[in-house]
Structure 1
Amino acid sequence: MINLLPIRRGLVAGLLAASVASPAFAGGKSLACYQQRHQPAVYKTVHENVVVRPAGVVHQTISARYGQVTEKVLIEPERVIARHVPAVTRTVHQKVMVRPKSVGWEWRHIKGVRTLCKVVHPAQYATQARTVVVHPARTVHERVPARYAHRTRTVVIEPARTVTRHVPAVVKTVARTVEVRPASSGWVQVSGHKRCN
């Protein structure tokens, strides 16, 4: 389909130019009248989302956590030791016979005459001290219990780790003015013969 609008606009513009340029045509009968109209541009505000910051991945390192623990530790293990117990002695005194009873001969003077006599010698005793063992020496085994102590030390409660966190994109809605229809200028036919007089 042929668009006749440009041809029509050109024709009208030519006729108007001719009527303005030629005063001989002034005062004639009007066949059609045209007025120049200016159409301003039409704008509207549109809202659109723009990415201020794109989505990404953040790696965050979390430090290890430490704490104090108290524990019972062995200082010296249980053991058995041998101990020598010396003998227990005491001193006792007892009467012992030094010389037994005996019969013998000896010279005696009886009334001035030397006489051989048979005599009895009684036993002789003496007190002697001696050491007796009350308890003999011995070896005894003694159990020595283990020895413990409490010690405080630092331990890792939670080791260091890296956490990956997804950061969403930051989107901002911005408003901007766009031209819907540009400004235009053209000739519009005035309807009715009265408008041309």
Structure 2
Amino acid sequence: MRVVFLCLAASLLAGLAVAQSAQYPPADRAGQCFARVLTPVVTETVTEQVLEKPATERIEVTPAVYRDSSIRVMVREAKTRHRVIPAVYETVEEEVMVAPERTEITVIPAQFETYTETVVVKPERVVWKTGEGIYGRSGVHGAEDAAARGGETHTGEVLCRVIEPAVTRTVTRSRMIAPPRTQERVIPARYKTVTRRKVVEPARVVEEVIPAVYEDRSIRVMVEPPKERRVEVPAVYRTVEREIVRGGGEPEWAEVLCETNTTDLKVAEIQGALSDAGFPTLVDGAFGPRTEAAMEAYQRANGLSVGYLTVETVRSLGVDPYGEPSDAAYAALAQRSA
């Protein structure tokens, strides 16, 4: 944002008096400076009725009306029951056949005896065999005869016809002396005396009718049914406060202090007034960032135009913008110079 400072000297006012128009600040004397500043927004707190809950309709139900009564109800139906009467028995004795008469056949096996017998394995026969001990030239005495005959001998073979006895063997054999046979034997029937139960009267089924069972019970009888009624519920409002803008917030010309129409002593006086008002800053006669921050904080706290050292702000601090500087300002600058 560009700050436009306009310093009007007395000589310029005389020369430009006829050229003044609505775009210039309303200066009426020499030594005044003006700047366009935003005027503080003027607000007003108003109260309003706000709808919190709209009007509704509720339904009220009137419950039904009942009375006590009694009623006879059947709790168990009639039914037919079948009862079984068991049979009646008596004990009797009787003779029963345990085993019938039968014929038993016994087989008598055959009878055998053992005997020995000589059997011919090889029969007797006549065979040729070589003879031995022959009497003659080639026999036992043949050597002597041969010597007498000048050593001549006979070498022919001697065969004899002999009987070879039969070969036998004793064997054991068995033979049947009596053939197998059967023998029949009649076995008579066997009886036993037993005790048994005899039915005297057979079992039977008897039909019995069981009557129904009734009870008296209490009941509630509705005399009047439930009813519904519609009830209007009014709307609910609450009071709220809100701020509305009544004015301000527009740029306008405001008289300000600048280097043209003020001195270091006046700045020191304003710095001292800011510190006394609770917005401390350095009292050195130089309008620096610290002094600017203290000034803007004071302006916001007091609802003044923020941003420039306006004459309105200076007078709010109790300082005459164009008067003689205070002794405290002189003392502060003197101490700084020392």
Is TM-score (shorter-chain normalized) higher than 0.5?
no
Larger Rg, first or second structure (1 or 2): 2
Structure 1 or 2: more helix by fraction: 2
TM-score (normalised: structure 2): 0.24
Higher relative contact order (CA 8 A, sep 6+): 1
TM-score (normalised: structure 1): 0.37
Structure 1 or 2: more strand by fraction: 1
